[in-house]
Chain A
Amino acid sequence: AQKITQTQPGMFVQEKEAVTLDCTYDTSDPSYGLFWYKQPSSGEMIFLIYQGSYDQQNATEGRYSLNFQKARKSANLVISASQLGDSAMYFCAMREGPYGGSQGNLIFGKGTKLSVKP
């Protein structure tokens, strides 16, 4: 069963507007972490934002915020004031189970390709 689902293969947004990238997850573990990464064409994985399963508040990092709805098992990324440099692949990922070891790796969604239009 797919653990991380990103239903938007591609998204377009106008420069300076906000965009929401969807992510739903599936786990029965009460302890998990949710991550968003940006992957430009160079391939590097750039960490954007993190939400722990026990965190009471939604995470924010500059122009990035995570809309965490635990009951719905969703962790959507909101990018405000889009910039041309935001054009890239965006991956949602989850760490479940005990930290470290073979159960501590990240599980990635299929990604969303964001294109920012001038």
Chain B
Amino acid sequence: DIQMTQSPSSLSASVGDRVTITCQASQDISNYLNWYQQKPGKAPKLLIYDASNLETGVPSRFSGSGSGTDFTFTISSLQPEDIATYYCQQYDNLPPDFGQGTKLEIK
């Protein structure tokens, strides 16, 4: 199985800050990498697909980059409504596993 390692596991930042989360795959997954946002008590929501494509309706402050084994998820200017846990997910190979999540809090 491909292991997905996210860092950090938790992060505290101020409104307006630039926030970056990384996800590393244990082997080359090309660009088969998605990012999800899960707000407390809610279902996950797809934000970024194929490493860098913004899902329809998602604010442009969210972005993704990377290919191969190293990927980055960025919020350009943190907003209060961005408080959530963020997960990466690979689908190059079965099982389509998720990273362990990054819990984002407001400082």
Q: Do A and B come from one complex?
A: no
Residues of chain A whose beta carbon lies under 8 Å from any beta carbon of chain B: none
